[in-house]
Amino acid sequence: MIFLKLLEGRGIEFVKRLDSIANRESDYIVKSEDVTDERYGYYPFERPINLYIEYGFIPLDKPPGPTSHEVVAWIKKMFSIGKAGHGGTLEPKPPI
């Protein structure tokens, strides 16, 4: 998917890609220096699948008929039957 390619990148590069996707042209001002510790957290595209879903978002093309509420319930149901023991925190949020 071409679009995903536009988003790919790590760290600050990823943040700048977010800006460009939303047509934002702002510069960054550095306030202080810091290096991220690779032992904690994940680069968004490198999250293990359960976290990728937990911190995920689905731009869903909702068909006419079912309400958004119903569709959210279906999506939740689809994902919560995922890997055993990890169902509890899965909460994809389809906004459209």
Partner 1 sequence: MHSSKEYVALMELHGDVNLEKLYEVFKMFTGKIYQRPPLRSSVKRSLRVREIYSIDLLEIINRHVLFRVKCESGTYIRKLCHDIGLVLGVEAHMRELRRVAVAHIREELPVVTLHEVSEAVYLWRKYGDETLIRKVVLPVEYIVAHLPKIIIKDSAVDAIAHGAQLAVPGIVMLSNDVKKGERVAILTLKGELVAIGKSFMEAEEIVKNEKGVAVKIERVVMDRGTYPPLWKKAKKEEKSE
Q: Which residues bind partner 1 (CB under 8 A)?
A: 1, 3-4, 7, 9-15, 18-19, 21-24, 26-37, 40-45, 47, 49, 52-64, 71, 74-75, 78-79, 81-82, 89, 92-93, 95-96
To partner 1, the closest distance from the beta carbon of 84 in angstroms equals: 10
Nearer to partner 1, 23 or 85 (CB): 23
Task: Specify burial of residue 83 (Cβ count, 10 A radius: 0-12, 13-18, 19+).
Answer: exposed
To partner 1, the closest distance from the beta carbon of 85 in angstroms equals: 14
To partner 1, the closest distance from the beta carbon of 25 in angstroms equals: 9
Those residues whose C-beta lies under 8 Å from the C-beta of residue 30, and which sit 6 or more positions away, are none
Q: Distance of CA 94 to CAs 13, 41, 71, 73, 91, Å? A: 26, 23, 9, 10, 9
